[in-house]
Structure 1
Amino acid sequence: MKELEPLQLHLKRERGLISAVSLVAGTMMGSGIFMSPQSVLSNIGSPGASLIIWLMCGLVTMCAALSYAELGTIFTESGGEFLYVLRIYGSLPAFFVAFTFTFVLKPSSMAAIALGFARYIVAPFYQGCAPPVVVVKCTAAACILFVAFANTLNVRVTMATQVVFMAAKVIALMVIVIGGILTMAQGSLESLSSLDIAFKDTNFGVSSLGMALYQGLWSFAGWYSLNFVTKEVKRPEVILPRAIMIAIPLVTVFYLLVNVSYLAAMTPREMMFSTAVAVTWGNKVLGGWGWVMSIAAALSSFGSLNGSFFSGGRVCFVAAREGHLPDILSMVHVQRLTPSPALIFTTIISLIVLIPGDFESIVNLFSFTGWFFNGLTLSGLIYLKIKKPDLPRAYSVPIIVPILVLLAAVFLVLAPIIDNPRLEYLYVTLFILSGVVIYVPLIHFRLFPGLLDKLTVFLQLFLEVAPTDKKL
C-alpha cells in the first residue's frame, strides 16, 4: 500500500492576546492553588514563610517566562524546550528533552491535575472522610479521556472553552479573596498577627525549602504554555511578552490573597491536615454553601487540564516532525487540523502514570525533572546572549534575568537530594538516561528504517491524518 503524500497542512495562527493570556493564566490557575497550599505550609512550617515562598515562586516564574519569551522570538517555531535545545545544543540533548517531556513531564502534569480535579469533584460525596483511591483515580481517568477527546475534535472550541473556564476560575478565586477580607474584618487573622507568630516553627532546612518551592511552583506550572504553540500565535514577538506580563502578576496576586484568606479562616494546623483546603475553607466561611467551592475547584482543575492538553500535544508533534519520535506523531487530522495522534499518545501515557501515582509524589518528580531541563534551556539563552548577540530578536531581557533563574533551577534540582535523598529521583534519572538506548540505533544510526512504515500507513488511514508541511 502506498504511503499518503504530504499535504500542505498548517496549524492555524489563531491565538490573539486575550486567548494567549487565557492559555497562560488558565493553565496555571488549576489544581495547584487548591492542592498545594497545605503542602507548602507543611514543608516550610510557618504561615509567614509560606507567603514568602508564594512570592518567590511568582518572581522566579516571571523571570523564567520572560527569558523563554526571548527564546520564542529568536526561534519562532512551536515546540518549547525541545526546539530551543535542538537549535542550540543539537540532536542528542534535544532527544532527551523530547523523551523526558513525552514520557515523564507532560503525562505527570496531566495526571496530577486530573487527580486534583477528581479529589474535589468527589469531595461532597465523602464529607468527613477521605474518598476511596479507586474512585478518585477512575474519576481522574474519565476527566483525562474527556479533555483529550475535546482537544482532538476542534482547536477553536477548546480555546473558547479555555476562555470560559478562565472566567469561572477567576470568579471562584475572587469569592475566596472577598470571603477572606470579610473574615479578616471580623478580626480573624491570628496566625499573621505578629512576626513572632507568623514565622514561628519555620523550617530552614534546604530540603524542606526545596520541597515547599516544588509545591508552590507547581501551582504556576503552565507559564511556558505559549512557547509550545508559538506557531499558532499571532505576532508572537508582541503577544508572548505582553501575555506573560499580564498573566503571571495577575496569578501571583491572586495566589497571595487566596493564601491569606485560607489563613484567615483556618489555623495553620487545620490547613496542613486538610485533604481539600478549599472545601474546608468553604465549610467555615460559606457554611451550607461550602460545597460550591468543591465544584469551583474541580472546574478550575478541568480548565487547567484543558490548557495543558492543548500545549502538551504540540511538543510530541514537533519532536516527531524533527525525526526524534515516530512519524505518525507529527501528523494532523486532514479536516480538523489538530495533532490528534500526538494527543492520543500523550493521553495513553498519562493514564499509565495515573495508575500507581499520588498527587504529592507526582508533583515532586515532575518538578525535579522539569527544572533540570528548564536550567538546560536557560543556559542556552545565556550562551546565545554571549556568543551570538546579533541574532535577530524582537524582545530581549537583561542577561542577569536568565542567570538568576538558572541559579534557582540548580538549587531546585539539588535541594531535595541534599538533606533527604530518595530513590525516586535516582529512578527517574536512570529512566531519562535510558533514552540513549533508543536514540543511538533509531535516531543517530537510523537502523530499521522500514520497521514502522506499515503501522504508520495503517494509522494514517485509521485516524485520517497526514504529514504536515516541513516548513511549519
Structure 2
Amino acid sequence: MDKKEPEALNLKREISLIGGIALISGTMIGSGIFMSPQFVLSYVGSPGASLLIWTFSGVMSMLAALSYAELGTVIPESGGDFVYILRIYGPCPAFFAAFTFVLVVKPLGAAGMAMSIAEYVAAPFYSECSPPPLVVKCAAAFTILLVSIINVLNVRLAIRIQVIFLVAKVLALILIVVGGLVKMTQSTAMIVENLKVENAFTGTQFSLSTFGMAFFQGLWSYSGWYNLNNVIEELQRPEVRIGITHDKKL
C-alpha cells in the first residue's frame, strides 16, 4: 500500500480586500500622523518648509509602495523584506536582515507606537501634569501584549479590529481637518497673511541635520505601506488584489 505524501503546510487565505486595505491604511494612519507634525515643524522652523517635507515624504513613500507592489507580483511569498533579500541576495544577507528586524527594527517600532498610544491613553487621567513615566511604560507594555495575543488567537479577529480602528482614525482626522478649517475661516486676514510665500518660509532652519530629522519623522508617519507584503500568502485572490498574474520568481 503506497504511503501518501505529506501535504505542504500552507497559510489560510483569510484576509479579504477590505482587510488588506485596513492592514496598510490602518498602519499608515497611526500614532505618527498625530505626533510627528509638531516635531517636523520644530525641526525645520516654518510652515512652508514643513509642507515641503511632508510632500517629499509622501512621494517617496508612494514610490516605495509601488516598488513593493511590483515585488509582490514577482515573489508572491509572505515575509516581506526577509523573503526579497533571501531570493535576491541569498541566505547570508537574509539571515542578518532577519536578525536585525527581530532584535532591533521591529521591537523599536512597536515600542515607539506603544509609547505614543500609552501617552494618549494616560493623558486624560493626568490633566494637570504629564503622566508618570512608569504609568506610560506599563500601559505601553500592556498594549503590546494585548495586540500580540489578538494576532496569535485569530487572523480574522485581528483584521476586524484593524478595520474598526481604521474607521475611527479616519473620523478623528476628519474632525481635526474640519476643526482647522473652521478656525481658519474665523480670520480671513490671518489666512491671507500666512499663505504669502515670504511668510510661509520665515524662520526656516537651513541645516542638513534638521532637514534629515524632519524627513525621518515624515517617513515614519507614512510607514506601513509594506505590511501587506508580509502576509501576502494569507491574502484572498492575490492575483486580483495586487495584480499577481504569474508564478515567476527570482
The correspondence for 1:233, drawn from 191, 212, 235, is 235
2:17 counterpart of 1:17? yes
Write the distance in 2 (CA, Å) between the matches of 1:131 and 1:191: 38
Question: Closer, same or farther in 2 for the Cα pair 1:191/1:140, shift >3 Å?
Answer: farther
Write the distance in 1 (CA, Å) between the matches of 2:145 and 2:25: 23
AA in 2 matched with 1:122: A
Question: Closer, same or farther in 2 for the Cα pair 1:66/1:133, shift >3 Å?
Answer: same
Deviation at 1:236, TM superposition (A): 2.5
Write the distance in 2 (CA, Å) between the matches of 1:158 and 1:20: 12
8 Å contact kept, 2:118–2:136? yes
Which range moves more in the overlay, 128-137 or 24-33? Answer: 128-137
Deviation at 1:8, TM superposition (A): 4.9
Deviation at 1:208, TM superposition (A): 1.1
Match of 2:129 in 1: 129
Tell me: higher relative CO, structure 1 or 2? Use CA pairs within 8 A at least 6 residues apart.
Answer: 2
Write the distance in 2 (CA, Å) between the matches of 1:7 and 1:144: 34
Residue aligned with 1:65, SS = helix
Write the distance in 2 (CA, Å) between the matches of 1:238 and 1:166: 22
Write the distance in 1 (CA, Å) between the matches of 2:172 and 2:123: 17
Match of 1:181 in 2: 181
User: Any residues of structure 2 matched to 1:436-451 within 5 Å, and which?
Assistant: none
8 Å contact kept, 1:43–1:203? yes
Kindly tell me the number of residue pairs found equivalent between the two proteins.
240
Match of 1:104 in 2: 104
Query: So what's the TM-score if we normalise by structure 2?
Result: 0.90
Deviation at 1:189, TM superposition (A): 4.2
Write the distance in 2 (CA, Å) between the matches of 1:189 and 1:103: 47
CA offsets per residue over residues 256-291 of structure 1, 9 Å max, x none?
xxxxxxxxxxxxxxxxxxxxxxxxxxxxxxxxxxxx
User: Any residues of structure 2 matched to 1:348-387 within 5 Å, and which?
Assistant: none
Match of 2:171 in 1: 171
2:210 counterpart of 1:208? yes
Match of 1:120 in 2: 120
Match of 2:74 in 1: 74
8 Å contact kept, 1:77–1:230? yes
Match of 1:161 in 2: 161
CA offsets per residue over residues 161-181 of structure 1, 9 Å max, x none?
111111111111110011111
8 Å contact kept, 1:44–1:208? yes
Deviation at 1:78, TM superposition (A): 0.4
Write the distance in 1 (CA, Å) between the matches of 2:194 and 2:243: 35
Match of 1:53 in 2: 53
Deviation at 1:190, TM superposition (A): 7.3
8 Å contact kept, 1:72–1:237? no
Which range moves more in the overlay, 78-87 or 188-197? Answer: 188-197
Question: Closer, same or farther in 2 for the Cα pair 1:17/1:192, shift >3 Å?
Answer: farther
The correspondence for 2:223, drawn from 221, 231, 237, is 221
AA in 2 matched with 1:240: I
AA in 2 matched with 1:208: T
Structure 2: stretches of 5+ with no match in the other structure? 1-5
Write the distance in 1 (CA, Å) between the matches of 2:226 and 2:151: 19
Deviation at 1:392, TM superposition (A): 3.9
Write the distance in 1 (CA, Å) between the matches of 2:72 and 2:193: 43
CA offsets per residue over residues 83-140 of structure 1, 9 Å max, x none?
0111011111111110111111111111001001001111112224322111111110
Query: So what's the TM-score if we normalise by structure 1?
Result: 0.49
Instruction: Provide the alpha-carbon RMSD of the alignment.
Output: 2.0
Write the distance in 2 (CA, Å) between the matches of 1:54 and 1:185: 23
Match of 1:193 in 2: 195
AA in 2 matched with 1:34: F
User: Any residues of structure 2 matched to 1:242-261 within 5 Å, and which?
Assistant: none
Write the distance in 2 (CA, Å) between the matches of 1:175 and 1:40: 22
Question: Closer, same or farther in 2 for the Cα pair 1:157/1:208, shift >3 Å?
Answer: same
User: Any residues of structure 2 matched to 1:290-369 within 5 Å, and which?
Assistant: none
AA in 1 matched with 2:214: A
CA offsets per residue over residues 327-348 of structure 1, 9 Å max, x none?
xxxxxxxxxxxxxxxxxxxxxx
Structure 1: stretches of 5+ with no match in the other structure? 1-5, 243-390, 394-472
Question: Closer, same or farther in 2 for the Cα pair 1:12/1:191, shift >3 Å?
Answer: farther
Deviation at 1:10, TM superposition (A): 2.6
Write the distance in 1 (CA, Å) between the matches of 2:138 and 2:67: 39
AA in 1 matched with 2:223: A
Question: Closer, same or farther in 2 for the Cα pair 1:131/1:7, shift >3 Å?
Answer: farther
Match of 1:375 in 2: none
Deviation at 1:20, TM superposition (A): 1.0
8 Å contact kept, 1:72–1:236? no
Deviation at 1:241, TM superposition (A): 6.5
Write the distance in 2 (CA, Å) between the matches of 1:8 and 1:235: 19
